[in-house]
Amino acid sequence: MSARLRPPREADFSSPLRDDRVTARVGLWLGIAFLVAFLTGVFSHYGQDTPGWFTYPTGPVSLYRITQGIHVLAGTAAVPLLLVKLWSVYPKLFARLPWPPSRAGLVNGLERASVAVLVSSAIFQLVTGLQNMTHWYPWGFSFRSGHYAVAWVAIGSILVHVAVKLPIIRDALALPIDAATPMPVAERDINARVADPALSRRALLRTTWAAAGLAVLATAGQSVSWLRDVSIFGVRSGDGPQGVPVNRSSVEAGVTKTALDPGWRLTLVNGSVKRQLTRAELEAMPQHTRSLPIACVEGWSAGATWTGVLMADLAALVDAPGDSELFISSLDLNGTFGTSTLPPQFTANSNTLLALKVNGETLDIEHGYPCRVIAPARPGVLQTKWVTSLEVVA
């Protein structure tokens, strides 16, 4: 290299590890991770913001626990994969655009612009996802709408990228990883220059898979209990009261007094029919016990045994059909999670309870005392705690 200071050029990067064979193999798994995260993410979004054409399923009861666990694990695995992939191609940033402008130059410029969109949307998704897992919201926009909107940008730019690169990807995947053969693709003969690298391409790939696997193991314990001890990234894998982690506490929700107030009543409303019940009256109704997980959008989940009354029984008290849609309000007034809507198929489902107990004990205030919603297969954010009223939606 010359002694004179100048910006690097693509040819200055001579590691034979930066090779289409590495990029394509890591890219393949990165693409799979993003596709899995996209599909499970859209499902999660529809679970919370259900479009009219979609009926959210009431089972299997662990559905959301599985899809959202996979969503977060796919995103976690993508972090080391994206880092290695970016490292393998970043010298291309210093490749010169053909000058004077030509058709080829224009195509090249467009392709680089699409890669810029791809890289920035991918980084945005992984960073905001990790921030949500740790409850760190340094930005002003809503996490869910931002993460959802950019998901479409990311998946779209991945599709464009794969389409543009398909011939290179095919050739690169077909070539043995460690063979010295230079790539048949014209501009990629840099790797032939360095004869004896410190690390083989195979070893680099193995290290990459190991890093992705380790990241997954270190996170999975937030949903898989026997992995808990090795899960240093499982943010909320520790036990909360009654063996269930707590998302938003009673202090954060501002309900420490109202939830324990002996004057608390559950209000049931069906048009002009109205009824109020004390907790003792709820306890006097037929009680049902169900094993259902709480599965947070952040990826953690925990199974528990809940005891309480059937939603359909409550609807009947105000002369409403057992498959009524219910609007649920809680004492928690200063957040967006203080209300939720229970669709008809959940009110009618005998796994959906207004729970009074968890794991055999009276609900802790942190888990929603005096009573909370627990429905099968749904995102945790809809399992409203500190319930104060159920209104039949006309």
Ligand X SMILES: Nc1nc2c(c(=O)[nH]1)N[C@H]1C(S)=C(S)[C@@H](COP(=O)(O)O)O[C@H]1N2
Query: Which of 183, 148, 170, 155 is closest to 45 using CA atoms?
Result: 148
How far apart, in whole angstroms, are the C-alpha atoms of residue 309 and residue 324? 16
147 binds, among ligand X, Mo ion, none (CB under 5 to 8 A by kind): none
Q: Which whole-number Å values give the CA distances from 384 to 137, 200, 270, in the listed order?
A: 22, 53, 20
Dihedral angle sign, alpha carbons of residues 31, 36, 39, 44: negative
183 binds, among ligand X, Mo ion, none (CB under 5 to 8 A by kind): none
Q: How far is the CB of 389 from ligand X (least distance, A)?
A: 12
Q: How far is the CB of 152 from ligand X (least distance, A)?
A: 24
Q: Cβ(81)–Cβ(33) under 8 Å?
A: yes
Identity of the residue, 247 or 250, whose beta carbon is nearer to Mo ion in the bound complex: 247
Query: Which of 125, 391, 118 is closest to 275 using CA atoms?
Result: 391
Q: How far is the CB of 380 from Mo ion (least distance, A)?
A: 4
Q: Cβ(229)–Cβ(221) under 8 Å?
A: yes
> What does DSSP say about strands 387-392 and 266-270: parallel, antiparallel, or unpaired?
parallel
332 binds, among Mo ion, ligand X, none (CB under 5 to 8 A by kind): ligand X
Query: Which of 149, 146, 137, 335 is closest to 255 using CA atoms?
Result: 335
Residue 371 Cα to chain centre, angstroms: 27
Identity of the residue, 22 or 381, whose beta carbon is nearer to Mo ion in the bound complex: 381
125 φ, ψ to 5°? Answer: -65, -45
19 binds, among Mo ion, ligand X, none (CB under 5 to 8 A by kind): none
Looking at residue 96, the DSSP 8-state letter turns out to be P
Q: Which residues bind Mo ion (CB under 5 A)?
A: 247, 296, 380-381
Identity of the residue, 16 or 379, whose beta carbon is nearer to Mo ion in the bound complex: 379
Q: How far is the CB of 253 from ligand X (least distance, A)?
A: 5
Identity of the residue, 90 or 137, whose beta carbon is nearer to Mo ion in the bound complex: 137
310 binds, among Mo ion, ligand X, none (CB under 5 to 8 A by kind): none
Beta strands in the chain (DSSP E): 266-270, 273-277, 288-295, 301-310, 326-330, 339-342, 353-358, 361-362, 372-374, 387-392
Q: How far is the CB of 254 from ligand X (least distance, A)?
A: 10
354: helix, coil or strand?
strand
* Span between the terminal Cα atoms of the chain, in Å: 76
How far apart, in whole angstroms, are the C-alpha atoms of residue 349 and residue 210? 43
335 binds, among Mo ion, ligand X, none (CB under 5 to 8 A by kind): ligand X
Q: How far is the CB of 246 from ligand X (least distance, A)?
A: 4
Q: How far is the CB of 300 from Mo ion (least distance, A)?
A: 8
Identity of the residue, 119 or 363, whose beta carbon is nearer to ligand X in the bound complex: 363
Identity of the residue, 164 or 304, whose beta carbon is nearer to ligand X in the bound complex: 304
338 binds, among ligand X, Mo ion, none (CB under 5 to 8 A by kind): ligand X
305: helix, coil or strand?
strand
How far apart, in whole angstroms, are the C-alpha atoms of residue 1 and residue 3? 7
Identity of the residue, 15 or 132, whose beta carbon is nearer to Mo ion in the bound complex: 132
Identity of the residue, 63 or 296, whose beta carbon is nearer to Mo ion in the bound complex: 296
Q: Which residues bind ligand X (CB under 6 A)?
A: 244-248, 253, 294, 296, 330, 332, 335, 337-338, 367, 380-381, 383-386
238 binds, among ligand X, Mo ion, none (CB under 5 to 8 A by kind): none
Q: How far is the CB of 134 from Mo ion (least distance, A)?
A: 13
Q: How far is the CB of 257 from ligand X (least distance, A)?
A: 15
Position with the least CB separation from ligand X: 380
383 binds, among Mo ion, ligand X, none (CB under 5 to 8 A by kind): ligand X
Identity of the residue, 142 or 207, whose beta carbon is nearer to Mo ion in the bound complex: 142
